[in-house]
C-alpha cells in the first residue's frame, strides 16, 4: 500500500492534514475502544534494513459508548493524569536509593537482640483461693441425674462447657433466691489437674441450648483456680457470690487451659436432662495474628472457576489498640493489577468496604459505617457475597445481613490474592483471623448462619462449591493448609504470629447434648479468707526472619535470611494485655540496623505522552472521538520488537482509547542513534528537588557515534501550589548559569477540547485538562561534543512551595548527521484543517497557514509554495522570503486574493506543495507535499448589512474588539465597555471572508463570583423590518478564552479584492486569588 493512498483513506475517516507522498506506511494497532485493559505487549517493526522518515502516534479518545459525559457515564467526571509509556526490558533505569542493612519481620526498631533458642512472652493471671475457717450456715440444692458419667475435658487440652438448669428444677432442689456461694462436683473418677479452671454463671431465659448460638458474654466469673479433683464430692468455693433472682434459668460454664490433652480425664456423675442442656467445645483452636506485617499468599489458581459469584467468610478479632485504621484484611487482583475482591475491615473512618468485580473501569463497591464492637475487641463472623448475575452484593455480620447493594454486575477475575494485607503489600491488618473460606457461589443466609460456628465438612450443602478453606489451626510453621477438597495450600510470609485460644476464649465448634452433670448449688455464710495468687503462663514467641543485605558495585544484594527468636526483656502481660513486668533473656547477638546506598534498577520505562484527561461532565467527543497525532520519531530506538505499552497514573479508564503507531518509510531528517533517560520518569516534591533528593545531578556521556544531541523535558506541576503557580525550570550542564530555562506553564483557555465541566480553563503548570503536555526541546550544538561527559542537573526557580510536586520526564537524544543539505518539509497545515489541535482557528477560508520546517543543514532563505483546492482549478503560488535556520519550524501565511479560490463542487481538500527552496529543487521530495480536509464556514448568498451584538460580563474592562480589513485598516472597534451591558454595532461589509474572534476571561462553571454572568458575542443580520433575526453565529459562553468564527458574504469573483476581517479580543485578568 502506498502512503498517498493509505493516508487518503485516513483523511476521509479522521479529517486530518497529513503528508501524502509515495512512501509505504506500516500501522501498528495497540489499544482500541473495546480494550478491557490499558496495557499489553505489542509487536513493533524490527527490520534493521528499513528506515522510517517519521514515526507518528495516532491517539484517539472517545467518551465511553460515545455518550455525553455525566459522572460515570460517557467521559468520566474528573481530570486525571493519563500518561502513555513504553517499557523496554532490554534497558535499565536506575535511581539513587537507600536500603536498611537488615529487614526483620515484626520489628520496627534499630537494634535487635536475638537468640537461637525459643523465648516466651508471659501471661500473668490473678487466681483466687477461698478458704473457709468457719461455716455459719449452708444449704445445698442438687440438680441433675447421676446414672451416667461425663468427661470434663472431653479429650481436649482446652475446653469450654455450658450447662442449663431450669428455675423449676432448682426451686424443687431447694435453691432460693439469693447468693450462690459455691458448687459441689460429684466426681466418679478423678483425672489430671485442671489448670486455669474458671467457673462463670449467667441468668437466662433460654429453655434449651443451641450449638450454633452459644452464649459468649454476660457471665459473672465466680471461680478461677488451678484445681485437682478427687473421687466423691469436690467443693468449688466462689471468690465472689452470684446473686440468683429465683426466677431465671441458670447457665453454668466452666473452662480450662492445660498444656496438653490429658492422659486421664475427670469423670463427673451425670444424667440425661431430656433436652439440649449442654454445649461442649474441646477442640484446640488456633488463629493467625497479624501485627501490621506479614501476609498469606493464596495461589491464584484457586480462583479460576470464579467469575460471576463468590462468598468469602472469616472470623476475625481486630486489635482495639490499633483499629480503626486503614487496613485490608484480604485483597484479590487480576493480571492487570485491577482490584477484583477487597475488604477494608475497617478503613480509618470506621467504615467497612466490600469491593468486588472489575472490568478495567473500576470496581463495584458497597460500604457502611460500623460500630467498634463489630470489628475490634471480640470475635466476629463476617461473610461477603456477590452475585454478578443478579447484581447483588451483601455483607453478613454474625449470620445476619448487615448491608447490601444492587446493580453490581461487574464480573470477577482473581489472579493474585493476599490475606492480611493488600496485594500491593500495603494496608496491613492488625488482628487475628480464623476459619477463612472462599466459595464460588453466593451462599444463603441460612447456610451462613448454620455453619459459621463449626468446621466445614462434606456434609455442608454447598461443599461442592468450596474453593478453599484455611482454618488456620496449624499453630506453627509457614504453611496454611487447605482443609477443603482442592488442596490449595498457601504460603505465609513475614511471620505473623500464631495465636492459641485459651479455654475461656473458645467461641465456636460447640456440640449440643442432653447429658448434664450432677451439681450441688451451695448457699452459705462463712468466715473465710480469699487469697489472690499470681500465676504465670507462657506463650512461645514467634520466630523472626532476619534478611541481611549488602551492596555489590551499585547493586543491592540479599546476603541471606536467618530465623531467630527475640531476646532481651520479655514482657509479662496481664489479662487485659498491659505490660506488668519483664523477664530478661540473655541475647546471643545484637543486630544494629544501618543504611546502604545503592542504585535501584528496573526495566526502562519511557513516557511517550503526558496527557491529563478532560473534565467529563457535559463533554461530547462525538461518535468518532477526538484524534491527535504526535511525532514519536525520537523514540525509534525503543519502538521496535515486542514492547509493553501502558497507560498509567489514574486516568487510564476515563475515556475509551484507540492508539496506533504509523511508521512512514523513507529517509529520516537524521538518524536517531539512541535515546536514553537522564533520570527515570518520576515525581519529585519541591523541597526534594531543591535538595537533590530526587533528580540529582547525573553524569552523562555523550556517545562518540553522535553528530548532535538534544535534551527533551516534559514537566507537569501538581498539588495546590504546583498546579496553579507558574515556575521556571532549568537544565544545567557542568554548573554555572543554566544553559536552558523554560517556563512550566500552559494556557488552558484556548484548549480545543471544549466545553468541559469543571475548572478546565484555568492556566496550569505544564498541562491542561484534555491536552498534551508541552515538550521542551533543547539542542546541544556548540555546548557538548561527542565522547564528552557532562553533569546534568534539573531544578526549579522561585520561592519554596510546600504543596507542589512535579512529574518529570527527561531524555537525551543522540542523532547522526543531517541527511540533506537543502530540505524544506511541510509539517502541518494549520488552516484550513480538521485537526483537533487547530479547531480553534477552523473552519476557515481566509489565508491558509502551513508549518514549514528546515530539515536540511543549510539555512532556508526563500521557499516557493503552490497551493490549491481540489476541483477548483486555480493554483496559487507564493514565495516566502526570510531566514529559517536548520531545525526550525516556521508558520507561513499564504495569501488568497479572492473568495472564489475556495469554491469547489468536489470534496473540500486543500493541497500545499513546496516547489523550490533557495531558488532550487530541494534534496528531498518526500516531505514537500501535504493535503488537508476542511469544512467551509457559513456562506451568505447576498451582501448584507450586519450587526455585531456584544453582551459584557462583570469584567468588561478585560474585553475589546477590533474589525480590520485585509490590509489592516480598522473598520470598527470598541473598548472601555461597561459591565453587564449590551452593545450593538452596524457593520456594512462587501462580499468577503469575515473571520470573527472574541477574547475574554470567564468561568461559567462558578455559580457565583465577580465574573458572572458570562459574556457573549452574536453576529446577526439587521436587514429584517422587524429588527434582529436569528443569529448567523454566536459565541459559546463556555468557550474559554477565545471565540473564533468565520463568515463568507457574497459569491462574486468580481469582488474578490474586498476581503475584510473582524477580530474581537481582550486582555484577560485572572480572578482574585488565582494564578
pLDDT tens digits along 68-98:
999 889 999 999 999 999 999 999 999 999 9
pLDDT of 1030: 36
pLDDT of 1029: 34
Between residues 1043 and 359, the one the model is more confident about: 359
- Give the Cα separation of 597 and 146 in Å (integer): 76
pLDDT of 761: 85
Asked whether the predicted pLDDT for residue 18 surpasses 60, the reply is no
Q: Range with the lowest mean pLDDT among 32-46, 464-478, 546-560, 991-1005?
A: 991-1005
Q: Range with the lowest mean pLDDT among 259-263, 605-609, 847-851?
A: 259-263
Range(s) within the chain of domains with CATH label 2.60.120.200: 286-500
Q: What share of the chain is helix, strand, coil (3-state, %, to 5)?
A: 5, 50, 40
pLDDT of 246: 96
426-471 pLDDT, tens digit per residue, is 999 999 999 999 999 999 999 999 999 889 999 999 999 999 999 9
- Work out the number of other CB atoms within 10 angstroms of the CB of residue 470: 26
pLDDT of 1070: 31
CA angle 85, 91, 93 (to 5 degrees): 70
Cell digits for 463?
Answer: 461443599
Range(s) within the chain of domains with CATH label 2.60.40.10: 824-936
pLDDT of 321: 87
Q: What's 426's DSSP letter? A: -
Between residues 989 and 926, the one the model is more confident about: 926
C-alpha separations of 773 from 660, 742, 830 in Å: 19, 13, 19
Asked whether the predicted pLDDT for residue 899 surpasses 60, the reply is yes
225-234 pLDDT, tens digit per residue, is 999 999 999 9
Asked whether the predicted pLDDT for residue 1058 surpasses 60, the reply is no
pLDDT of 1031: 42
- Give the Cα separation of 607 and 635 in Å (integer): 10
Q: Range with the lowest mean pLDDT among 13-27, 506-520, 805-819, 822-836?
A: 13-27
Asked whether the predicted pLDDT for residue 1068 surpasses 90, the reply is no
- Give the Cα separation of 55 and 242 in Å (integer): 88
pTM: 0.71
E strand or H helix that includes residue 721: helix 719-724
Q: What's the topology of domain 127-284+510-527? A: Jelly Rolls (2.60.120)
- Work out the number of other CB atoms within 10 angstroms of the CB of residue 975: 12
Cell digits for 122?
Answer: 508471659
Q: What are phi and psi of 10, to 5 degrees?
A: -65, -35
Q: Which CATH architecture has domain 286-500?
A: Sandwich (2.60)
Residues 6+ apart with CB under 8 A from 754: 760, 761, 770, 1036, 1038, 1039, 1040
Q: Range with the lowest mean pLDDT among 254-268, 405-419, 891-905, 963-977?
A: 963-977
Asked whether the predicted pLDDT for residue 702 surpasses 80, the reply is yes
- Local confidence band at 336 (pLDDT 50, 70, 90 cut-offs): confident
Asked whether the predicted pLDDT for residue 868 surpasses 60, the reply is yes
- Local confidence band at 1049 (pLDDT 50, 70, 90 cut-offs): very low
pLDDT of 1036: 56
Asked whether the predicted pLDDT for residue 1075 surpasses 60, the reply is no
Range(s) within the chain of domains with CATH label 2.60.120.230: 1-92+604-668, 670-750+762-818
- Percent of the chain whose pLDDT exceeds 70: 88
β-bridge mates for residue 251, sequence order: 164, 202
- Work out the number of other CB atoms within 10 angstroms of the CB of residue 598: 19
- Local confidence band at 846 (pLDDT 50, 70, 90 cut-offs): confident
Asked whether the predicted pLDDT for residue 942 surpasses 70, the reply is no
pLDDT of 943: 52
User: Which of 2.40.110.10, 2.60.40.10, 1.10.645.10, 3.30.565.10 would CATH assign to domain 824-936?
Assistant: 2.60.40.10
E strand or H helix that includes residue 267: strand 267-272
pLDDT of 1040: 62
CATH code given to domain 670-750+762-818: 2.60.120.230
- Work out the number of other CB atoms within 10 angstroms of the CB of residue 558: 10
CA-closest candidate to residue 333, choices 422, 427, 442:
422
Sheet containing strand 83-100, strands side by side: 39-44, 641-648, 83-100, 595-609
Q: Range with the lowest mean pLDDT among 90-104, 563-577, 921-935, 965-979?
A: 965-979
pLDDT of 273: 97
Asked whether the predicted pLDDT for residue 954 surpasses 50, the reply is yes
CA-closest candidate to residue 91, choices 558, 703, 637:
637
Asked whether the predicted pLDDT for residue 1 surpasses 50, the reply is no
CATH code given to domain 1-92+604-668: 2.60.120.230
- Local confidence band at 1038 (pLDDT 50, 70, 90 cut-offs): low
Length reported for the chain: 1075
Largest CA distance in the chain: 134
Mean pLDDT across the chain: 88
pLDDT of 1054: 27
E strand or H helix that includes residue 182: strand 178-189
Asked whether the predicted pLDDT for residue 784 surpasses 70, the reply is yes
CA angle 13, 16, 22 (to 5 degrees): 90
- Work out the number of other CB atoms within 10 angstroms of the CB of residue 420: 29
- Work out the number of other CB atoms within 10 angstroms of the CB of residue 950: 24
- Local confidence band at 969 (pLDDT 50, 70, 90 cut-offs): low
Where does 122-179 have alpha helices with state H? Answer: 167-172
3-class DSSP state for residue 302? helix
Q: Compute the average pLDDT of residues 827-847.
A: 89
- Local confidence band at 499 (pLDDT 50, 70, 90 cut-offs): confident
Q: Compute the average pLDDT of residues 923-940.
A: 87
pLDDT of 664: 96
Amino acid at each position: 500500500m502506498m502512503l498517498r493512498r493509505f493516508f487518503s483513506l485516513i483523511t476521509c475517516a479522521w479529517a486530518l492534514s497529513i503528508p501524502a507522498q509515495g512512501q509505504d506506511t506500516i500501522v501498528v494497532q495497540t489499544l482500541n475502544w473495546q480494550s478491557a485493559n490499558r496495557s499489553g505487549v505489542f509487536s513493533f517493526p524490527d527490520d534493521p534494513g528499513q528506515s522510517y522518515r517519521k514515526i507518528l502516534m495516532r491517539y484517539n479518545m472517545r467518551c465511553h459508548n460515545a455518550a455525553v459525559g455525566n459522572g460515570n457515564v460517557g467521559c468520566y467526571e474528573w481530570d486525571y493524569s493519563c500518561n502513555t509509556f513504553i517499557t523496554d526490558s532490554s534497558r535499565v533505569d536506575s535511581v539513587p536509593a537507600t536500603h536498611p542493612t537488615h529487614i526483620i519481620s515484626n520489628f520496627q526498631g534499630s537494634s535487635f537482640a536475638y537468640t537461637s533458642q525459643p523465648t516466651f512472652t508471659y501471661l500473668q493471671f490473678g487466681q483466687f483461693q477461698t478458704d473457709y475457717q468457719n461455716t455459719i450456715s449452708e444449704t445445698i440444692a442438687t440438680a441433675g441425674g447421676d446414672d451416667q458419667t461425663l468427661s470434663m475435658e472431653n479429650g481436649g487440652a482446652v475446653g469450654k462447657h455450658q450447662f442449663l438448669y431450669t428455675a423449676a428444677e432448682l426451686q424443687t432442689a431447694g435453691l432460693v433466691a439469693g447468693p450462690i456461694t459455691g458448687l459441689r462436683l460429684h466426681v466418679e473418677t478423678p483425672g489430671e489437674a485442671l489448670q486455669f479452671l474458671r467457673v462463670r454463671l449467667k441468668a437466662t431465659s433460654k429453655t434449651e441450648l443451641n450449638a450454633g448460638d452459644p452464649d459468649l458474654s454476660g457471665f459473672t466469673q465466680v471461680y478461677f483456680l488451678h484445681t485437682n479433683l478427687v473421687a466423691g464430692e469436690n467443693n468449688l468455693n466462689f471468690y465472689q457470690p452470684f446473686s440468683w433472682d429465683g426466677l431465671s434459668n441458670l447457665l453454668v460454664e466452666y473452662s480450662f487451659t492445660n498444656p496438653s490433652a490429658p492422659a486421664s480425664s475427670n469423670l463427673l456423675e451425670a444424667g440425661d436432662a431430656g433436652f439440649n442442656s449442654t454445649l461442649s467445645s474441646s477442640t484446640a483452636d488456633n488463629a493467625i495474628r497479624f501485627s501490621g506485617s506479614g501476609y498469606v499468599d493464596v495461589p491464584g489458581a484457586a480462583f479460576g472457576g470464579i467469575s460471576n459469584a463468590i462468598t468469602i467468610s472469616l472470623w476475625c478479632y481486630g486489635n482495639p489498640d490499633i483499629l480503626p485504621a486503614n487496613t485490608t484484611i484480604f485483597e484479590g487482583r487480576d493480571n492487570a493489577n485491577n482490584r477484583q475482591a477487597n475488604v477494608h475491615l475497617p478503613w480509618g473512618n470506621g467504615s467497612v468496604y466490600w469491593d468486588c468485580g472489575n472490568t478495567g473501569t473500576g470496581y463495584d463497591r458497597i460500604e457502611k459505617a460500623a460500630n467498634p464492637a463489630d470489628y475490634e475487641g471480640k470475635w466476629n463472623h463476617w461473610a461477603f457475597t456477590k452475585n454478578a448475575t443478579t447484581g447483588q452484593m451483601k455483607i453478613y455480620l454474625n449470620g445476619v445481613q448487615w448491608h447490601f447493594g444492587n446493580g453490581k454486575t461487574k464480573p470477577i477475575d482473581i489472579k493474585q490474592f493476599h490475606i492480611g494485607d493488600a496485594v500491593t503489600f500495603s494496608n496491613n491488618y492488625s488482628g487475628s483471623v480464623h476459619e477463612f473460606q472462599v466459595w464460588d457461589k453466593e451462599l444463603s443466609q441460612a447456610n451462613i448462619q448454620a455453619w459459621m460456628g463449626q468446621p466445614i465438612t462434606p456434609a455442608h450443602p454447598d461443599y461442592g462449591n468450596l474453593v478453599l478453606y484455611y482454618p488456620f489451626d496449624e499453630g506453627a510453621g509457614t504453611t496454611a493448609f487447605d482443609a477443603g477438597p482442592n488442596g490449595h495450600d498457601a504460603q505465609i510470609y513475614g511471620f505473623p504470629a500464631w495465636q492459641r485460644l485459651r479455654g475461656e476464649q473458645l467461641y465456636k465448634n460447640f456440640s449440643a447434648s442432653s447429658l448434664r452433670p450432677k451439681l450441688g448449688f451451695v448457699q452459705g455464710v462463712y468466715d473465710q479468707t480469699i487469697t489472690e495468687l499470681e500465676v504465670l503462663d507462657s506463650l512461645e514467641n514467634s520466630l523472626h526472619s532476619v534478611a541481611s543485605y549488602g551492596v555489590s558495585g551499585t547493586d543491592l544484594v540479599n546476603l541471606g535470611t536467618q530465623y531467630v527468636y527475640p531476646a532481651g526483656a520479655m514482657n509479662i502481660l496481664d489479662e487485659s494485655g498491659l505490660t506488668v513486668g519483664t523477664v530478661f533473656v540473655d541475647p546471643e547477638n545484637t543486630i544494629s540496623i544501618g543504611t546502604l546506598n545503592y542504585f535501584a534498577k528496573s526495566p526502562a520505562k519511557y513516557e511517550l505522552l503526558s496527557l491529563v484527561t478532560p473534565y467529563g461532565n457535559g463533554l461530547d467527543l462525538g461518535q468518532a472521538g477526538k484524534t491527535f497525532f504526535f511525532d514519536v520519531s525520537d523514540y525509534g530506538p525503543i519502538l521496535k520488537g515486542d514492547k509493553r505499552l501502558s497507560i498509567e497514573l489514574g486516568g487510564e479508564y476515563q475515556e475509551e482509547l484507540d492508539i496506533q503507531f504509523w511508521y512512514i518509510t523513507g529517509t529520516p531528517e537524521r538518524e536517531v542513534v539512541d535515546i536514553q533517560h537522564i533520570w527515570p520518569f518520576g515525581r519529585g516534591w519541591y523541597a526534594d528537588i531543591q535538595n537533590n533528593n530526587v533528580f540529582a545531578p547525573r553524569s552523562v556521556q555523550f556517545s562518540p557515534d553522535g553528530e548532535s544531541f538534544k535534551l527533551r523535558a516534559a514537566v507537569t506541576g501538581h498539588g495546590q501550589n504546583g498546579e496553579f503557580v507558574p515556575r521556571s525550570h532549568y537544565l544545567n550542564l557542568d554548573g554555572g548559569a543554566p544553559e536552558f530555562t523554560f517556563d512550566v506553564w500552559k494556557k488552558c483557555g484556548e484548549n480545543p477540547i471544549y466545553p468541559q465541566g469543571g475548572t478546565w480553563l484555568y492556566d496550569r503548570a505544564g498541562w491542561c485538562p484534555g491536552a498534551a503536555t508541552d515538550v521542551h526541546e533543547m539542542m546541544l550544538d556548540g555546548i557538548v561534543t561527542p565522547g564528552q561527559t557532562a553533569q546534568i542537573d534539573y531544578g526549579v526557580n522561585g520561592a519554596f512551595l510546600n504543596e507542589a510536586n512535579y512529574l518529570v520526564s527527561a531524555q537525551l537524544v543522540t542523532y547522526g548527521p543531517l541527511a540533506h543539505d537543502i530540505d524544506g518539509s511541510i509539517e502541518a497545515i494549520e488552516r484550513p484543517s480538521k485537526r483537533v489541535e487547530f479547531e480553534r482557528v477552523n473552519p476557515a477560508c481566509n489565508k491558509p497557514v502551513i508549518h514549514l520546517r528546515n530539515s536540511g543543514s543549510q539555512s532556508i532563505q526563500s521557499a516557493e509554495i503552490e497551493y490549491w483546492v481540489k476541483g477548483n482549478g486555480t493554483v496559487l503560488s507564493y514565495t516566502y522570503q526570510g531566514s529559517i535556520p536548520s531545525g526550525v519550524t516556521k508558520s507561513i501565511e499564504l495569501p488568497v486574493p479572492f473568495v472564489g479560490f475556495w469554491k469547489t463542487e468536489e470534496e473540500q481538500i486543500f493541497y500545499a506543495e513546496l516547489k523550490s527552496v533557495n531558488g532550487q529543487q530541494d534534496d528531498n521530495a518526500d516531505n514537500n507535499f501535504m493535503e488537508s480536509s476542511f469544512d467551509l464556514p457559513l456562506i451568505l448568498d447576498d451582501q448584507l448589512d450586519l450587526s455585531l451584538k456584544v453582551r459584557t460580563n462583570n469584567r468588561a474592562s478585560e474585553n475589546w474588539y477590533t474589525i480590520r480589513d485585509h490590509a489592516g485598516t480598522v473598520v470598527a472597534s470598541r473598548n472601555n465597555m461597561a459591565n453587564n451591558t449590551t452593545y450593538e454595532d452596524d457593520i456594512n461589509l462587501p462580499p468577503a471572508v469575515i473571520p470573527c474572534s472574541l477574547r475574554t476571561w470567564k468561568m461559567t462553571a462558578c455559580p457565583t463570583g465577580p465574573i458572572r454572568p458570562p459574556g457573549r458575542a452574536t453576529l446577526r443580520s439587521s436587514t429584517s423590518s422587524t429588527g434582529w433575526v436569528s443569529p448567523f453565529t454566536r459565541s459559546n459562553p463556555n468557550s474559554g478564552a477565545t471565540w473564533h468564527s468565520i463568515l463568507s458574504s457574497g459569491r462574486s469573483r468580481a469582488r474578490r479584492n474586498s476581503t475584510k476581517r473582524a477580530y474581537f479580543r481582550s486582555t484577560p485578568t485572572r480572578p482574585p486569588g488565582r494564578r
